[in-house]
Amino acid sequence: CLLTGRTPIRAGVPGNVGSGIGPRNGMPASEITMAEMLKESGYATALIGKWHLGYTEELQPNGQGFDYAFGHLVGCIDNYSHFYFWNGPNRHDLYRNGEEIFKPGAFFPQLCLDEAAAFIQANADQPFFLYYAMNSPHYPYQGTTAWLQYYNDKNIPYPRNLYNAFVSTTDEYIGKLLKKLEEFGVLENTIIIFQSDHGHSTEERAHFGGGSAGPYRGAKGSLFEGGIRVPAIISWPGHLPQGEVRSQMATAADWLPTIAELCNVPAPRHKIDGTSILPLIKNQNHQDAHEVFHWTFNKQWAIRKGDWKLLYDPQDTSLKRNAPENRADDLYYLVDLSSDIGEQNNLALKYPEIVKEMKDLHFSYLQEVEDSK
């Protein structure tokens, strides 16, 4: 979604890419990434951190538009051993430009910072695109000793203390990266975008929590707002507004066309689902980026039109990732976000005509995606 400007099902990734190595396990090589778009216009391109979009040569970062790539290919790794952090048997997963490398004991965020700094320094005199996909604060929660001690001294309860320490570690390393941009004289001419990918995890590997979705229902793995509503920040001093907040809806798919407009480069000619949010960024009164938008994740789906949101078989992962089955009346779950941001009240039985309209829109979208293949 982020790299292609297309929804996951249109981009051929309807769910998380599994860990099995094979030509069909990953985002199709035919997809055009943000890196390919910018490379066509003379940008040096790099991926530092997490890939998780394929393992064979043509599906790895170097096959998808990145001149330089460093990091791990699967979903998450231990930050010191660099072994895949999932059900065993686990495998080592640290690569530079497709070649396995070994740095046992080295802290992965520091390795990423060093690699990013070298790339920035080498390309400071030309346009560059750096996709800095940090493994933190994804589990395993491995904050630095200083941050672990800091939250321990504040008597923050488990597992919040572990999560806080890793989030603060992430924040510290983002600050160090910004310092590198400043050190090499490119900070003022660099567009910086920060965004999370989904809500906090309540999986066993995440100690069943530690994060918070505030007033929103759900967490990672859910299409309730707590799973999909995430923070995003854009900075370009002297070119974009500063210190302002936007409440309009936008999505990760919107970044590709937005960057294309900001950098004055042509966007891919095929169908994309995102739209440039530059007008919204510049004008706080601008309308939402989308009249209608769709989400799919495994068997769940959701559609939003204005303040109305319809979910199918929604999974409430607020307390644990494996949510209980829905009651029959909650298989279709209709919410008015203007009055129920916590998505506590299912209005499907009260407004069957809206449910039908939203279902028809979503099924038409699915058919359009299928017909476009």
What is the layout of strands, in order, in the sheet containing 308-312? 292-297, 300-305, 308-312, 332-336
Q: Which pLDDT does position 257 carry in this prediction?
A: 98
Average pLDDT for 167-186: 98
For 304-333, what is each residue's pLDDT tens digit?
Answer: 999 999 999 999 999 876 777 888 889 999
Residue 63 lies inside a defined structural domain of this protein: yes
Q: Which pLDDT does position 283 carry in this prediction?
A: 96
Q: Are residues 182 and 307 in the same domain?
A: no
CA angle 4, 299, 89 (to 5 degrees): 80
Cross-strand partners of 304: 293, 309
Q: Are residues 188 and 299 in the same domain?
A: no
**What is the C-alpha separation between 99 and 97, in angstroms, rounded?**
6
Confidence of residue 16 (pLDDT cuts 50, 70, 90): confident
Residue 276 lies inside a defined structural domain of this protein: yes
Q: Are residues 155 and 267 in the same domain?
A: yes
299, amino acid identity: K
Q: Tokens at residue 193, please?
A: 């975008």
Q: Are residues 303 and 181 in the same domain?
A: no
Average pLDDT for 349-357: 99
196, amino acid identity: S
Q: Are residues 275 and 314 in the same domain?
A: no
> At residue 82, does pLDDT exceed 90?
yes
- Length of the chain equals 373
Q: Which pLDDT does position 19 carry in this prediction?
A: 79
Residue 221 lies inside a defined structural domain of this protein: no
Which residues are CB-neighbours of 238 under 8 A, at least 6 positions away?
188
Residue 7 lies inside a defined structural domain of this protein: no
Peptide bond into 137 cis (omega under 30): yes
Helix (H, G, I), strand (E, B) or coil at 144: coil
Number of domains forming the structure of the chain: 2
Q: Are residues 265 and 302 in the same domain?
A: no
> At residue 236, does pLDDT exceed 80?
yes
How many other CB atoms are there within 10 angstroms of residue 241's CB atom? 13
Q: Which pLDDT does position 292 carry in this prediction?
A: 97
Q: Are residues 49 and 99 in the same domain?
A: yes
Q: Are residues 364 and 235 in the same domain?
A: no
For 86, the domain range is 34-196+231-282
Distances (CA, A) of 332 to 176, 305, 309: 46, 15, 10
- Mean pLDDT, rounded, of the chain: 96
For 44-77, what is each residue's pLDDT tens digit?
Answer: 999 999 999 999 999 999 999 999 999 999 999 9
